[in-house]
Structure 1
Amino acid sequence: MKKIVLILSLIAVMVAAGCTGTENQVKPTPTPTPSATPYPEKTPEVVGENVSGLGNLARFKSEDELKEYLALKEVYYGYPMFGVAVQKGVPMPMEMPAGTPTPMPVPTATPVPTPMIEERAAERYSETNVQVKGIDEPDIVKTDGKNIYYSIGMARIYMPQIIMPEYYGKILSVIAFPPDNMSVSFEIPKDGNLLLHKDRLIVLRYNEISGYDKENGKNVWRIDVDGSIVTARLYGDYIFVITRNYLDYYDPCPVEPVRVNGEALEIRCTDIYFPRGISSEVLYTVMKVNPENGEIEKTFSFMGSYGSTVYMSENALYIAYSKRMGEDEIYFKFLQENRDLLPDDVLSRIEKVMSYDIGNQAKFIEIQSAISKYLLTLDKEERLKFENDFWNRMQDFRKEHKREIQRTYIVKVGLNLESLADGEIPGRLLNQFSMDEYGGYLRVATTLGDENDLYVLDEKLRVAGKIAGFGEDERIYAVRFIGDRGYIVTFRETDPFFVIDLSDPRKPEIKGELKIPGFSSYLHPVSGHLILGVGREGSYVKLSLFDVSDAKNPKEISKYTLKESWSEVLYNHHAFLMDSKHGVFFLPAGNHGYVFSYGDGLKLVKAIDVPAVRAIYIDDYLYVLGDSIAVYDENTWERVAEFRFG
């Protein structure tokens, strides 16, 4: 009996782990089963109210329908919690780059006496490195050309904590230009990711947004989030904030995702959208916020799965989340296609179980029991054969059905927060750079296990064109779409750098491919025909300069390997700074900062012995920020000033 349990446990592990053995085997010819019929599935689906112009997205008709949806989808922490629903207000970590601040009560700013300084206006200053020019993203440093706003001293806090640390960090407002007499004008004794709009400094934390007067640090408004902030964008005169929270099955409506200056914002059940037939455990709410006063002008809410990726163009927000077929469903479909593994009496029992109006987990347990009883009738060698047949067929099944098993669901939301479209594609996204809108089409790059796809979607998020199955035995490490081209890096042992022609959205085509050692995880355009790659080769940070003037023949024309093992740019593009006037770029690496020129190949212009985190420029001065601010003249690269925080 112990042997039977061991075999069943092994089978369960193979299902749950995805059968991670070799996937390069020749696919077996499926066994013909003309008499087989799909197992009936009697669990009802919530229908909802159709919304004109949308595909799979519907709107709840009532609170009862929302409750039914939550019950059917077993919406807890993504899995059943012994029948106990998660209550409202469960905190979740904010999805922002490393160095993201952690929660604490809102304090008041502390004014710092400053000497009188002769003011001189800067002619130019840098902005945060973002995906789409003109659409700002939250980061720990912002400048208006005179002041530097810096969220400093942040420590990563891993939840849950029995006793939370009393000190998390602070935000400093430093009068930074001209650099010869820098001083702190005020500080806020908390940290956060920052946005800057006119006279407002906006601080975003995992469950809170606050607006401050950027001149004196006075708190003007505050929004508390019941759940967490996923991310935000600043475009034009509005902040677009995406939040995420769980719903309470027993008291789902009205939903109160945020409180503005203490007053709850209510969302009715009938204003919530959901994808039909897709398991969704969290509620996403997109808010259009006035940065001047914190007023929420409009919201849009929909159900989705926990992990998400957000991209914003000048026309729309795209919120994508993973949609993976449940392991129980994989198991059921596998048995449907491999009926010859089991005798007729066991199949009859399984079909009967599948007809029951019970949850999938209960069905899964009953089916395991039926198979267990069958295995008891086999001798040791027959069981060994069954085990190996099951193992190999499950591998083939997953490989053959991978585009059904792993999918990405995308919701397109207009800037007036109306739903424009929804759709889904196979695979999973790497990050926000995996999506890009151009000429009315959305280009999306995905990975499916050991190969990759590229899809071009029309304005209704229907597939217009695609490239399926490139970069075999590799996964995507970096993506950048620029105009009518796409650049994709995949990696396993070498770094294939693909150049993709997207000039015809219905016929995307891989034009060129370059294989070099190592990989790039961030791609940045430095000119019309040069792409910079930041990645790794072996144990060190590697910079590559690609010439893509000939799409069919991309070349690595220059490379430089830093004697550093990591750089924040590898996973956070905000840490990268480019100054095209001086033909240089900056990146932190290890506990230092580095400035490179790129006009005549990659050349190290300045190595900065500062534990650098970010850099900005104001006029012709480069300000390198870490545990102090070091200032360099970009004409001579001499250090001209340093400001240490007290």
Structure 2
Amino acid sequence: MQREIKKRVYVYGFAAVLLAILLGSLCYNLEVNLQFGKPNQPTPPIETSPQQPLTALKTFSSYDELRSFLANTSIVPGEFLFFGPLDYKVLGVYPLGPEVRTANIEYSTTNVQVAGVDEADIVKTDGEYIYVVSGNNVSILKAYPTEEAGLVSKIVYNDMCPVGIFVSQSHDRLAVLGCEYFIPKFYYGYYYVNIKTRIDLYDVSNKTNPVFLKNFTISGSYFNSRMIGDYVYFVVSQPAYIIYDTVILPKIYTKEGIKEINATEIYYHNVTEDYYLYTTIVAFNIQNATEEATYKTIMLGETSCMYVSLNNVYITFRETYENTTIYRIRIENNTITPEAVGSVLGHPLNQFSMDEYNSYFRIATTAWVNGVPQNNLYMLDMNLSIIGKLENFAPVGEIMDSARFIGNRCYLSTSTPRKDPFFVIDVENATDPKILGNLSITGFTRYLHPYDENHIIGLGVDGSNVKISVYDVSNVTAPKNITEYKIDGYWSDTLALTEHEAFLFDKAKELLVIPVTVYYQDYSSWYGVYVFKINLEEGLVLRGNVTHQENNTYYFITRALYIENVLYTISEREIKMNDIETLELKNKIELS
């Protein structure tokens, strides 16, 4: 069997064993009672209105106050296992991408939620070079023009697992985010996992010779990040607990030694939780290497979602009894200021369930009340006090599948068996959100993306197959599904359902590209990208596909981008360059 399949088998086998050990240890140490289906006891109803503003965040006055707080309010005061999103991938224990012009060269950028707020990804381009995270390497490749394409340099990591990269607007700085892992050890009755998050900064003015400038390392698991202007803001979480009467504090690692973040620097909100995490927001200037990184640490429950506007970071975590607590942290260059905390009923699905617009924060949630799901939409002011809401608006039993806020509209889909109601909600009046119209379609929609102000692209699943739809919302009281395309096979899947960065769309080029996996009844399979022509007159038309599958090797294409009229598809093995119209192969570069 070829190399990639063997590699996956070994990794997944190790992952299954490690997961069983870790979950067993976690359940034993935390006395977790795993339940499947509905809870044994109904969730008590929660009164959400009228809501009073929550007490502002404050810091601990001393180390002793922090220790007393953990001892008296944390249900699990001792050490416990915690893994961030990247850790599950590595350890195995588990807005828009607009067109950019540079020197008259058109190229696509990362598909992001908020214009001006970049998101870390495994692939970036500046219109001439492509920067790729492949395994534990970061490669820089000459990409355009295609006849000059080739690998120009490679940064090899032996002590860090890269999770994502940023390239400065000036194209002369490269920031690499990742985690350092130390193998779990059984230590005094616990599995001890030492995880650090690190950002490395390089001068890439000379692409053939990246020069290391500096780094910043902090204890804890990487959670998420954004870049605004010259500043990367990244979030790290680690457990807060007491061992032998000693509070374990977050640490910063420098060439001079180890610095603990002082208890008096840690913000908190006076509530009781099952357990606490130190969540640290770091501001890191990637253009000025002499500027020291700044940070703020908040002690809260487990972080679940993050939304970032041009001025604020919103971090959510799940409370007991189905509430979600929201923290607003104001950001301006290297200044980080925790300013507000609030709470809503239910949990957001992902970052697209949240949005800031005209100094209001909007959030869509699903809650389980007395064992029954209900869907809600809340409007909050900058103090994170609820000023408007739409609760339990979908029929009984439906669960939110996707949401997207665009201007004064919220587009939201919920699901029942074999049907997916699509809602158009007016949020222009923050005190009185209203449903304008809805449409029932087959299957479910997992990702929503604006085509223009009157049309929305929906990506989801119908039966066992990926389906792409375009909704006309020009008549908000009667939205219509005007075109759709279903990727046939015994069953099909796309990475874009869970990673929006894998979704490439450009209205001007009439281009839509998604990575696709198709499985057939004869046990054969196909991996590649589907390339569509998309417009309102012709609908969705398949131009063709591109695959990196050849000679019985299976490499998944994870990202696609374009530079001028060339489509670039990227897998761990190679980058292929195809004509964007005809899909004729123009060149390719081996990565491994």
TM range (shorter): 0.7 to 0.9
Q: Classify 1:260/1:433 alpha carbon distance in 2 versus 1 (closer, same or farther; 3 Å).
A: farther
Paired with 1:73 and 1:23, the residues of 2 have a C-alpha distance of 24
Looking at secondary structure, tell me which structure has more helix per residue: 1
Do the aligned partners of 2:546 and 2:583 also contact (CA within 8 Å) in 1? no
Do the aligned partners of 2:87 and 2:221 also contact (CA within 8 Å) in 1? no
What secondary structure, in the 3-state scheme, does the structure 2 residue paired with 1:67 have? Answer: helix
- Map of 1:311 onto structure 2: 307
2:455 equivalent to 1:530: yes
- Map of 2:150 onto structure 1: 183
Residue 344 of structure 2 aligns with an amino acid whose one-letter code is I
Paired with 1:549 and 1:501, the residues of 2 have a C-alpha distance of 13
2:456 equivalent to 1:462: no
Larger radius of gyration: 1
Deviation at 1:476?
Answer: 0.9
Q: Classify 1:63/1:23 alpha carbon distance in 2 versus 1 (closer, same or farther; 3 Å).
A: closer
- Once the two structures are superposed, the pairs formed by residues 328-343 of structure 1 within 5 Å of their partners are none
- Map of 2:510 onto structure 1: 583
Q: Output the TM-score relative to the length of structure 2.
A: 0.77
- Map of 2:4 onto structure 1: none
- Map of 1:201 onto structure 2: 174
2:173 equivalent to 1:257: no
Residue 63 of structure 1 aligns with an amino acid whose one-letter code is Y
Paired with 1:320 and 1:256, the residues of 2 have a C-alpha distance of 20
Q: Classify 1:13/1:593 alpha carbon distance in 2 versus 1 (closer, same or farther; 3 Å).
A: closer
From 552, 561, 565, the equivalent of 1:620 is 565
Deviation at 1:257?
Answer: 3.4
- Map of 2:116 onto structure 1: 134
Paired with 2:40 and 2:416, the residues of 1 have a C-alpha distance of 16
Residue 186 of structure 1 aligns with an amino acid whose one-letter code is S
Residue 606 of structure 1 aligns with an amino acid whose one-letter code is G
- Once the two structures are superposed, the pairs formed by residues 513-524 of structure 1 within 5 Å of their partners are 513-524=438-449
- Once the two structures are superposed, the pairs formed by residues 408-427 of structure 1 within 5 Å of their partners are 408-415=324-331, 416-427=335-346
Q: Classify 1:262/1:13 alpha carbon distance in 2 versus 1 (closer, same or farther; 3 Å).
A: closer
Deviation at 1:545?
Answer: 0.7
Deviation at 1:68?
Answer: 0.7
Paired with 2:232 and 2:33, the residues of 1 have a C-alpha distance of 46
Paired with 2:54 and 2:39, the residues of 1 have a C-alpha distance of 37
2:472 equivalent to 1:554: no
Deviation at 1:437?
Answer: 0.2
Residue 109 of structure 2 aligns with an amino acid whose one-letter code is E
- Map of 2:532 onto structure 1: 596
Paired with 1:241 and 1:303, the residues of 2 have a C-alpha distance of 16
Residue 452 of structure 1 aligns with an amino acid whose one-letter code is N
Looking at secondary structure, tell me which structure has more strand per residue: 2
Do the aligned partners of 1:122 and 1:177 also contact (CA within 8 Å) in 2? no
Residue 390 of structure 2 aligns with an amino acid whose one-letter code is I
Do the aligned partners of 1:101 and 1:205 also contact (CA within 8 Å) in 2? no
From 230, 234, 242, the equivalent of 1:241 is 234
Q: Output the TM-score relative to the length of structure 1.
A: 0.71
Q: Classify 1:101/1:193 alpha carbon distance in 2 versus 1 (closer, same or farther; 3 Å).
A: farther
What secondary structure, in the 3-state scheme, does the structure 2 residue paired with 1:522 have? Answer: strand
Q: Classify 1:641/1:102 alpha carbon distance in 2 versus 1 (closer, same or farther; 3 Å).
A: farther
Deviation at 1:261?
Answer: 4.7
What secondary structure, in the 3-state scheme, does the structure 1 residue paired with 2:328 have? Answer: strand
Measured on the aligned residues, the alpha-carbon RMSD in Å equals: 2.8
Do the aligned partners of 2:141 and 2:153 also contact (CA within 8 Å) in 1? yes
Residue 140 of structure 2 aligns with an amino acid whose one-letter code is S
From 210, 218, 231, the equivalent of 2:224 is 231
Q: Deviations over 1:417-445 (max 9, x none)?
A: 11221100110111111110001100000
Paired with 2:580 and 2:384, the residues of 1 have a C-alpha distance of 46
State the percentage of identical aligned residues: 33
Q: Deviations over 1:331-390 (max 9, x none)?
A: xxxxxxxxxxxxxxxxxxxxxxxxxxxxxxxxxxxxxxxxxxxxxxxxxxxxxxxxxxxx
Q: Deviations over 1:455-509 (max 9, x none)?
A: 0001111111000002221111111000000011111211010100011110000
2:588 equivalent to 1:642: yes
Q: Classify 1:265/1:526 alpha carbon distance in 2 versus 1 (closer, same or farther; 3 Å).
A: farther
What secondary structure, in the 3-state scheme, does the structure 1 residue paired with 2:352 have? Answer: helix
Q: Classify 1:261/1:515 alpha carbon distance in 2 versus 1 (closer, same or farther; 3 Å).
A: farther
Q: Classify 1:258/1:580 alpha carbon distance in 2 versus 1 (closer, same or farther; 3 Å).
A: farther
Q: Deviations over 1:228-283 (max 9, x none)?
A: 11111100111111111123523437x44332455445432122111112315111
Deviation at 1:639?
Answer: 2.2
